Amino acid sequence: MSINIKRPNGTEDVTPKNVHKWHTIEKIARETAESFGFGEIRIPTFENTDLFLRSVGETTDVVQKEMYTVKAKESEFTLRPEGTAGTIRAMLQNGLLNEALPQRVYYILSCFRHERPQAGRLREFHQFGLEMAGSSSPAADAEVISLAKTMLDRLGLKNIELYINSIGCPACRAKYHEALRNYFNLRKEELCETCQERLIKNPMRILDCKSPVCQEIGKNAPLILDYLCEECSEHFEKLKKYLTDLDIEFKVNPKIVRGLDYYTKTVFEFVTTEIGAQGTVCGGGRYDGLIEQLGGQHTPALGFAMGIERLLIVMEKQDCDYLVPKKCDIYFATMGENALEKAMKLSKALREYGYFAEYDMMGRGLKAQMKYANKINAAFTVVLGDNEIESGIAKLKEMEKGTETDIRLDEKFAPAFEEIYFDKILDIMEEQGGDTLFSFTGEDN
Ligand code: HAM
C-alpha cells in the first residue's frame, strides 16, 4: 500500500529508533544549563506577528521572506521563527525581570522558517537556547559563551570553531551605516531588490543577504570593528581577555553580523566545516535594547541558540556516544492461558520496580516467541508453561551468557529479579572499566 500523504517539505520525523539521540542532546543541554543556574521556560508555538516585527526586525530575511503567518478569524499570528522574542515577551509578561537579576532561562523548542530546505536547513527545526537578562558586564558574555562551549564539549563534538565579533551600540552603528551606504551606493543597481530597500532602511542587513551577487559585492564592505565607540571597544577587549583566561579558543571574525536585528555589541557563532554549507551549530549575542523595545525597562541581555538537527548531523559524522536506548529487561514466553495471566501479573510488579517487561500478545508459538525475544535483545527470558505454574518455579535465563537461575513465581519475583539484575550490571560496569555515564538501561545513574 502506498502512502499518498507525506510530511511537508523541510520537516522531519523522529522515530523510536532514533529518539535516544535527541534524548542525549536534551539531557546534556538541561544538565549543562542548570549547572550554570538557568531554569527551563516553555512558551507558545505562535505569537502575535507584531512581536517578531518589533524584535527580529522588519528588514531581516526571517521577517521579510521566511515567516509562517496564519490568519485566524480576526487575528494574525506567526509560528515562532526563533525563541528569543517569545522568551523575552514571556519574561516581561510574567514579571521575571522584577525578580533577582540576572534572570536566566533556557528552552528546547521547535522553530519555523520558510527557507529552501537542504541538509541542515529545515522549515521546522529545533533549538536549544537560553537567555540571560540583567547584566551588562562582559563577564556575562564570557559566561554564556562558556556554557555553549561546555555543552558542545559534553556532547563530544570536535573541530568546532568559535568566532566572535562586536557589532556595536546604536551610537557606533549610525556611523557604520553611513560608511556602508557610501560603499553600497556605488553598486546599488546590482543589489537584489530587497537589498536596495535595505540600503535605505538598514544597510547592515545587506551583509547577510543569501543572494550570491549581494554576498560578492559585500566582500570588501567596511568592517564594523573599525567604527566601534570606546565603550563597545572596551567591552569587546574585556570579553577577549575573559575567554583567554577561561582557555576558550576563539577567532575574531569582523564579518559576523547575524541575521536578526536585535543584536548589540557581542555576537558569536560556533561553526564546523564538516557538514557543508550549514555549519553554524550555535549563534548568539547581546541585545541590550530589545527588552526596552518590547515595553520593559532598559535591561541588558544576551543569549544563544543551537540547532539540534545540525548538532545531530555533526554527532553522527564524528561518531559521538549517545544514551543507550532502553532495552527489554525481561521477556515472558508463555504457553497457555494460565501462563499468560501469570506473565501479566509478574510484568505489572516488575514495571513498578522500573523494569521494562514484555510478554507475547501475538498468539505466537514458543519458538517464535523466543525468536522475538532475541530480536528485541531482551536481557532475560522466562518460559512459563503449565509445569512452571504448577510448581511455582521457573528458569530465569540470562540471554547473553545463556546461564539459568531458578526463580519463584510469587510476590518475591520482582525483588529476586532485581538482585540478579544488579549482579549483571556490576559485571558490565567492570567490563567497561567503571564507566557509568551511559547506563545499561539508559536511565539516569
Ligand atoms: P539563529 O542564528 O537564527 O539565532 O539560529 C540559531 C541556530 O539555529 C543556528 O545557528 C542553527 O544552528 C539553527 N538554525 C537556524 N535556522 C535553521 C534552519 N532553517 N534549519 C535548521 N537549523 C537552523 C537565533 O535564532 C537567535 N534567537 C539566537 C539567540 C538567542 N540570540 C540570542 N539569544
Residue 439 CA to ligand 1 centre (angstroms): 32
From the CB of residue 27, how many other CB atoms can be counted at a distance below 10 Å? Answer: 14
The pLDDT value recorded for residue 425 is 81
Distance 82 CA to ligand 1 centre (A): 7
Pocket perturbation via mutation, ligand 1, pick of 107, 280, 288, 294 by most ligand atoms within 8 A of CB = 280
309 Cβ inside 6 Å of ligand 1:
yes
Q: How confident is the model at residue 226 (pLDDT cuts 50, 70, 90)?
A: very high
Look up residue 58 and give its three cell numbers: 522588519
Rounded to an integer, what distance in angstroms lies between the CA atom of residue 266 and that of residue 257? 10
Quote the percentage of the chain above a pLDDT of 70.
97
Residue found by looking up cell 508453561 in the block? 385
CB 259 near ligand 1, within 6 Å: yes
CB 311 within 8 Å of CB 157? yes
- The whole-angstrom separation of Cα 167 and Cα 153 is 27
Choosing from 114, 127, 288 the residue with most ligand 1 atoms within 8 A of its CB, the one to mutate for a pocket test is 127
- Which phi and psi (to 5°) does residue 184 adopt? -75, -25
pLDDT tens, 87-116?
Answer: 999 999 999 999 999 999 999 999 999 999
The verdict on the CB of residue 281 being under 6 Å from ligand 1 is yes
| Euclidean distance between CA atoms 191 and 232, whole angstroms | 30
Q: How many angstroms separate the alpha carbon of residue 255 from the centre of ligand 1? A: 17
Query: What is the reported pLDDT for 436?
Result: 44
Residue owning the nearest CA to atom 12 of ligand 1: 307
| Residue 232 confidence (pLDDT) | 98
pLDDT in tens, 135-178: 999 999 999 999 999 999 999 999 999 999 999 999 999 999 99
Tell me what pLDDT residue 400 has: 92
Of the pLDDT bands very low, low, confident and very high (cuts 50, 70, 90), residue 434 is low
Which one-letter amino acid corresponds to residue 299? T
Q: In angstroms, what is the span from residue 51 Cα to ligand 1's centroid?
A: 17
Q: What percent of the chain has pLDDT over 90?
A: 90
pLDDT digits (tens, 9 = 90+) for 241-250: 999 999 999 9
The protein residue with its alpha carbon nearest to ligand 1, atom 4, reads: 283
Kindly report, residue by residue over 288-314, the tens digit of the pLDDT: 999 999 999 999 999 999 999 999 999
Q: How far is the CA of 283 from the centre of ligand 1 (A)?
A: 6
Ligand 1 pocket, residue 152 CB under 6 Å: no
Contact between 258 and 271 under an 8 Å Cβ cutoff? The reply is no
Which residue in this structure is represented by grid cell 498468539?
Answer: 363
Answering whether pTM is above 0.75, one says: yes
pLDDT exceeds 90 at position 427: no
What's the gap in Å between 104 CA and the centre of ligand 1?
19
User: For residues 82 and 127, is the Cβ–Cβ distance under 8 A?
Assistant: yes
Report which ligand 1 atom has the smallest distance to the Cα of 84. 27
C-beta 329 within 6 A of ligand 1: no
pLDDT tens string 50-84 = 999 999 999 899 999 999 999 988 899 999 999 99
Residue with cell 539516569: 444
Q: Would the pLDDT of 442 be above 70?
A: no
| Nearest Cα residue to atom 11 of ligand 1 | 307
**pLDDT computed for residue 84 by the predictor:** 98
**pLDDT tens, position by position, 130-143:** 999 999 999 999 99
Contact partners, residue 389, CB within 8 Å, separation at least 6:
338, 339, 342, 409
Distance CA 214, CA 278 (A): 19
Expressed in angstroms and rounded, the spacing between residue 307 Cα and the centre of ligand 1 is 6
What separation in Å is there between the alpha carbon of 423 and the centre of ligand 1?
Answer: 46
Residue 108 Cβ < 6 Å to ligand 1: no
Q: What is the pLDDT of residues 11-23, one digit of tens each?
A: 999 999 999 999 9
338: phi then psi, degrees, rounded to nearest 5: -60, -40
The amino acid present at 147, given as its one-letter code, is L
Burial class (CB in 10 A: 0-12, 13-18, 19+), 426: exposed
The CB of 282 under 6 Å from ligand 1? The reply is yes
282, β-bridge pairs: 270, 306
Decide: 279 in ligand 1 pocket, CB within 6 A. Answer: no
Q: How far apart are CA 125 and CA 311, in angstroms?
A: 12
Closest-CA residue, ligand 1 atom 22, reads 307
Nearest CA to ligand 1 atom 16: 121
Tell how far the Cα of 7 is from the centroid of ligand 1, in angstroms: 22
The predicted structure's pLDDT at residue 431: 78
Cell of 300: 541588558
According to the 3-state scheme, what is the secondary structure of the chain? CCCCCCCCCCCCCCCCCCHHHHHHHHHHHHHHHHHCCCEECCCCCEEEHHHHHHHCCCCCHHHHHCCCEEEECCEEEEECCCCHHHHHHHHHHCCHHHCCCCEEEEEEEEEECCCCCECCECCEEEEEEEEEECCCCHHHHHHHHHHHHHHHHHCCCCCCEEEEEECCCHHHHHHHHHHHHHHHHCCHHHCCHHHHHHHHHCHHHHHHCCCHHHHHHHCCCCCHHHHCCHHHHHHHHHHHHHHHHCCCCCEECCCCCCCCCCCEEEEEEEECCCCCCCCEEEEEEECCCHHHHCCCCCCCEEEEEEEHHHHHHHHHHCCCCCCCCCCCCEEEEECCHHHHHHHHHHHHHHHHCCCCEEECCCCCCHHHHHHHHHHCCCCEEEEECHHHHHHCEEEEEECCCCCEEEEECCCCHHHHHHHHHHHHHHHHHHHCCCCCCCCCCCCCC
pLDDT confidence of 1, banded at 50, 70, 90? low
Cβ–ligand 1 distance for 305 under 6 Å, the answer: yes
